[in-house]
Amino acid sequence: MIGAIEILIIAVIFGIIYGRDAIDKTFRKSADEGVVESMAGDLKEYYEDDPKRMVKLGVFIVSAVAFVVTGAYWAITRTDFLKMIGLDQ
């Protein structure tokens, strides 16, 4: 039976081998710019292709954050989560 540590080691090895190639193909980053500058350039091109996609991306991000916040609120108020972590008597 394969344990969690072995699966994690395999995932790290594949990440090291294939991650750099995927990043290099996805983001056109040059050696003299940082990650944020590269992402800003990619987002600018993404916006120039179709401005409506940026609106959809913004709506998706806001809805994902709202979903996570709602789930956390439900978990804190409807369960014994605070007792489990020792914040309530």
Report the C-alpha gap between 87 and 82 in whole angstroms.
Answer: 5
pLDDT value, residue 86: 79
For residue 39, give the nearest of 25, 51, 28, 31 by alpha carbon: 28
**DSSP SS3 for 42:** helix
Q: Give the model confidence (pLDDT) of 28-85 as tens digits.
A: 556 566 666 777 777 788 778 777 887 888 899 999 999 999 998 888 888 887 777 7
| Statement: the pTM of the whole predicted model exceeds 0.75 | no
Buried b (16+ CB within 10 A) or exposed e, 11-30: eeeeeeeeeeeeeeeeeebe
